[in-house]
Amino acid sequence: MEKAIETEIPNGTNAAPVIRIPKNSLVAWKTELSEWTATEVFRTRIDQIAHSIPRGTFFRQGGLAFLRDAWIASRVAGALPSDIVRLVSSPRPDFEIQIDGQTLQFEATEADMEGRRPGDEPDDPHPLMDPVENWRRRYEAIPAALDRVVAKKLKKDYPPDVSLAIYVNLGCYGAYVEEGLPILRDHTAAARAKFKCVFVLWESCLYKFWEEGRPRFEKWQYVDPDDF
């Protein structure tokens, strides 16, 4: 990868410089991730890229949304029995996987707290304790977060047979899974008429809640043991 370029924050303060990834590096990554790649190789590669980018850069620099889509693609592909995976270069959908020669297409999105700015959160190698009240706050934010992203996706047009994969970036360390699953199902119901299937990534698992407009519950683990 080409070395990142440092640029000062344009506010006249003594704040630390922001690391920016050169455009030609972004183009090279996107081209690479748009090639059909074995699922495990794709997952390893997107993790390598993501880990090489400072948190502030990842969430502040424009043009990096494709890396989020690639991360979601890697987890969906890894959870399902897929053989190969790639990003899609056209505006929609975001990625494809192949299972036994059959190509499945997905639109990817992320559900989070309204107004949250992950780029403002520090790169801390020794994270502070996360109080239980924060877990509950994130859990209670899930319904509105899902409503927002589903509403946005319903305003767009997609090719036939595209599925929706939503990464819920509101982890609670598994504390509320049992009561949370009906919430995930109910607050993705609006998407069932537009998308072939509706999947949610939450708390280390991939869930399917809707298929062909009908309720369907399936669950797969997407966290590799090496992630712990």
**CA 40 from chain center: how many Å?**
17
Q: Give dist(CA 106, CA 93) in Å, integer.
A: 6
Domain spans, the chain: 5-227
pLDDT for the residue numbered 119: 46
CATH class of 5-227: alpha beta
Find the distance separating the first CA and the last CA of the chain, reported in whole Å.
Answer: 27
Mean pLDDT, each 10-residue run in order, the chain (228 residues):
50 62 95 98 97 86 93 98 95 95 97 69 60 94 98 95 97 95 98 97 97 98 65
What's the predicted TM-score (pTM) here? 0.87
pLDDT for the residue numbered 101: 94
Contacts with 215 (C-beta within 8 Å, 6 or more apart), sequence order:
185, 209
- Return the axis-axis angle of helices 65-79 and 39-51, rounded to nearest 10°: 140
pLDDT for the residue numbered 8: 43
Q: Give dist(CA 69, CA 63) in Å, integer.
A: 12
pLDDT for the residue numbered 228: 38
199-to-6, 122, 146, 183, 202 alpha-carbon distances in Å: 38, 30, 12, 13, 10
